Amino acid sequence: MKSEGGFSLVETLLALLLFAISLTALLHYQQRLTAGFYQQWQQREAWRVAARRLQGQESVGWQTTLRSLPAVEGCLLWQATASRPGLLPVTLSELRCNK
């Protein structure tokens, strides 16, 4: 009697289980990467919004504040803060002096 080559049912099911676990892990990893990139993109956008606020421009959808603080003689320290729900606020400062 000649035995046929191939995989048994148990081997096939084990391989399928290993493949499913690996695929699930990779999908979770990809989801985390996507969330990280989105968070980084939002943070960079917050810096851009703060820079525009220092230039006197408003940005729709963002909460921004602009304030001036006294600094060295003849100078003011301007601070622009940009925030959005679910994102850490960023503050950008600029020293402006009278010439």
Q: What is the mean pLDDT of residues 10-24?
A: 97
Kindly state the tokens that stand for 81.
């803060």
Its pTM surpasses 0.85? no
Q: How confident is the model at residue 7 (pLDDT cuts 50, 70, 90)?
A: confident
Q: What is the mean pLDDT of residues 62-70?
A: 95
Q: For 70-82, write each residue's pLDDT tens digit.
A: 988 889 999 999 9
Q: What's the N-to-C CA distance of the chain in angstroms?
A: 102
Instruction: Give the whole-angstrom CA distance, residue 95 versus residue 67.
Output: 12
Q: What is the mean pLDDT of residues 3-18?
A: 90
Q: How confident is the model at residue 58 (pLDDT cuts 50, 70, 90)?
A: very high
